[in-house]
Amino acid sequence: MALLLNAEHAFGLEDFESTAKIVKFAIVPKKHEEPDQSPKEELMSFEAAMLPHLDAAHNLARWLLRNEQDAQDVVQEAYLRAFKSFGGFHGSNGRAWLLTIVRNTSYTLLKKNHAVDLTTTFDEEIHGSGRESVSPATILEHAEDAELVKQAMDELPAEFREILALRHQEGLSYKEIADIAQIPLGTVMSRLARARDKLKECLAARIGKEK
């Protein structure tokens, strides 16, 4: 190795006493290791508790972000966050706890991307049209059409997509939904009702267009 006598070397290590201090510093760190549960044990109990909810986590993120790549990134990030705060989790409902983190991580990304549809104020004129011309019976006929329902649901604002996925796909109770979406229990029912109404409207609009 050719030794470069540059300034950094010169004053980085010029007096022997300080160099000795570095050596001391390098030897000490064993003390800093966590004495309680080993990281391996913690990881194992974390994975046993949380990996079973991976599908639920992915499904929620996918509905919120409407994009597979973003959903995967968010879920990975959420698991990492969950692992870091796993020590503070003492509840029994691991799924709701994890989904809360997935939801928050998803919203962080949505906000960062300046998503315009975070809340429920969106254009009534476009989405409200066609309601009168399409009967509930016609809507029901089309409600089995998975692709149509998916498209209609993707049109909804995030908080509606979220509550529909949590209720209809995860089958969560109002209480669990209130915890995850961080809204009062009383709001869950009204928001769910509005989400279903909006979904009907979007379906009606699509059916109306197809005609």
Interface residues with other proteins (CB under 8 A) are 3, 5, 8-16, 18-19, 21-23, 25-26, 29-30, 32-33, 38-40, 43-44, 46-47, 51, 54-55, 57-59, 62-63, 71-72, 75-76, 79-80, 83-84, 136-137, 139-140, 143-146, 149-150, 153, 164-165, 167-169, 173-174, 189, 192-193, 196, 199-200
Q: In terms of CB distance, is 25 or 211 closer to other proteins?
A: 25
> To the nearest whole angstrom, how small is the minimum distance from the Cβ of residue 26 to other proteins?
6
For residues 52 and 29, what is the distance between their CA atoms, to the nearest angstrom? 36
Indicate the residue among 118 and 140 with the shorter CB distance to other proteins.
140
What amino acid occupies position 189?
Answer: M
Nearer to other proteins, 100 or 163 (CB): 163
As a whole number of angstroms, the distance between CA 199 and CA 96 comes to 25
Q: How far is the CB of 33 from other proteins (least distance, A)?
A: 6
Burial of 188 (0-12, 13-18, 19+ CB in 10 A): buried
- Least Å from the CB of residue 95 to other proteins: 14
73 or 117, CB closer to other proteins?
73
Q: Please give the single-letter amino acid code of residue 177.
A: I
What is the rounded distance in angstroms from the CA atom of residue 75 to the CA atom of residue 18? 47
Task: Please name the amino acid found at residue 67.
Answer: N
Looking at beta carbons only, is 88 or 114 nearer to other proteins? Answer: 88
Reduced to 3 states (helix: H, G, I; strand: E, B; else coil), residue 91 is coil
Dihedral angle computed from the Cα positions of residues 184, 188, 190 and 193, in that order, rounded to the nearest 10 degrees: 170
